[in-house]
């Protein structure tokens, strides 16, 4: 008899084509003017988190939690005044620096997208 665990480790975030150009000088992206600044952006599977790692480096993650991407509540949000994102549905926490899991039950990092700074005010996000 085969017994399987009831814990979910499915990291199959549905593929969603992303090819976005962001004008960083627009008021809606003011938070990205400083290191550790972040904004939500309406693209990807359930939205994106754009995070500024350094003066020239950005990280972009899908907001879908990797613990159980099929759950309707599997949505990560940034913890205010912190560099972590949390899924209040399962309690998993993720680092905004690299998307890694800092507290389970998730074991797979957040899905990350490419982010190229094209000029001082233009960011290209794609997969």
**Predicted pLDDT at 118:** 94
- Label residue 120 exposed, middle or buried (CB < 10 Å: 0-12, 13-18, 19+): exposed
Q: Which has the closest alpha carbon to 51: 6, 112, 8, 2?
A: 112
* Position 108 in a domain: yes
* Residue 31, domain member (yes or no): yes
pLDDT tens by residue, 73-82: 999 999 988 8
54's tokens? 């350094």
Helix H segments across the chain?
Answer: none
Tell me what pLDDT residue 81 has: 87
Residue 13 lies in a domain: no
Q: Is 85 left (phi over 0), alpha (psi -120 to 50) or beta?
A: beta
Residue 10 clears pLDDT 80, i.e. is over it: no
Helix (H, G, I), strand (E, B) or coil at 67: coil
Q: Quick check: is 96 in a domain?
A: yes
Q: Does a structural domain hold residue 6?
A: no
Chain segment 62-95, per-residue pLDDT in tens: 999 999 999 999 999 999 888 999 999 999 999 9
For residue 65, is it within any domain?
yes
| Parent domain of 67 | 19-126
What's the structural domain count of the chain? Answer: 1
The CATH number given to whatever domain includes residue 101 is: 2.102.10.10
- Answer yes or no: is 4 within a domain: no
Residue 68 placed within a domain: yes
């Amino acid at each position: 008899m085969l017994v399987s665990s009831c814990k979910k480790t499915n990291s199959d975030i549905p593929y969603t084509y992303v090819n976005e150009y962001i004008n960083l000088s627009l008021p809606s992206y003011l938070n990205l003017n400083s290191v550790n600044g972040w904004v939500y952006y309406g693209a990807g599977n359930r939205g994106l988190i754009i995070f500024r790692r350094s003066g020239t480096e950005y990280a972009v993650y899908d907001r879908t939690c990797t613990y159980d991407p099929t759950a309707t509540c599997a949505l990560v949000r940034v913890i205010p005044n912190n560099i972590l994102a949390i899924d209040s549905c399962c309690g998993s926490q993720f680092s905004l620096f690299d998307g890694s899991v800092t507290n389970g039950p998730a074991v797979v990092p957040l899905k990350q997208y490419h982010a190229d700074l094209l000029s001082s005010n233009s960011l290209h996000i794609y997969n």
